[in-house]
Amino acid sequence: MTYEGGCLCGAVRYRIEGEPLSAGYCHCRMCQRAAGAPVVAWVAFPRADFRFVRGQPDRFRASARAVRRFCSQCGTALTFEYSGDTGTVDVTIASLDDPGAAEPMYQIWTSSRIPWLHLEGSGPAYEGDAPGTPRN
Ligand SMILES: [Zn+2]
Ligand SMILES: [Zn+2]
């Protein structure tokens, strides 16, 4: 499959040629602040299948173990990657041209879920990281 997406202003575009590994909602405070949104839906792909095809995003190291990339022109949150070589990249589902193409199947960091946000029927929920998949 080919997936394409990009930021709000169009300065940064990306393309993925491959299959998603997983998709889920993250309720952590860093995702909330980075996106200015109550929750962020992420889809993970093999790093080798992902590339930026237009523009260069800016990067922010939000914690010791991860880098977030975003458009320096319009601020759209685009990707999340671990500092270590996990071989994967997480992409914000809402930045895909077809956000319906990847559906979140779990929730992580529900310990910081905003109380008025309810996402029932979204699969298993974890108070912190899902087993084996830290995300902040
Ligand atoms: Zn932009
Ligand atoms: Zn998060």
Q: pLDDT band for position 132 (50/70/90)? A: low
Using CA atoms, how far residue 42 sits from 14, 23, 83, in Å, is 15, 6, 17
CATH of the domain at 27: 2.170.150.70
Residue 48, Cβ neighbours under 10 Å: how many?
A: 11
Q: What are phi and psi of 89, to 5 degrees?
A: -135, 135
Whether 120 maps to a domain, the answer reads: no
Q: What are phi and psi of 124, to 5 degrees?
A: -60, 145
pLDDT at 23 over 60: yes
In this prediction, residue 107 carries a pLDDT of: 95
Report the separation in Å between the CA atom of 127 and the middle of ligand 1, taken as the mean of its atom positions: 32
Whether 135 maps to a domain, the answer reads: no
Report the separation in Å between the CA atom of 40 and the middle of ligand 1, taken as the mean of its atom positions: 18
In this prediction, residue 65 carries a pLDDT of: 84
Residues in the chain, total: 136
Tokens of 75: 């601020």
Report the separation in Å between the CA atom of 53 and the middle of ligand 2, taken as the mean of its atom positions: 25
Nearest bound ligand to CA 69? 1
Nearest bound ligand to CA 34? 2
Protein residues within 5 Å, CB atom, of ion ligand 2: 26, 28, 31, 135
Q: Which domain holds residue 53?
A: 2-112
More confident residue, 135 or 102: 102
* DSSP-assigned letter for residue 34: H
Nearest bound ligand to CA 10? 1
Whether 130 maps to a domain, the answer reads: no
**3-class secondary-structure state, position 135:** coil
Whether 89 maps to a domain, the answer reads: yes
Whether 134 maps to a domain, the answer reads: no
Using CA atoms, how far residue 30 sits from 11, 60, 66, in Å, is 24, 11, 11
pLDDT tens per residue, range 72-106: 999 999 999 988 778 999 999 999 999 999 999 99
Report the separation in Å between the CA atom of 42 and the middle of ligand 2, taken as the mean of its atom positions: 9
- Quote the number of domains for the chain: 1
Whether 133 maps to a domain, the answer reads: no
Whether 38 maps to a domain, the answer reads: yes
Whether 102 maps to a domain, the answer reads: yes
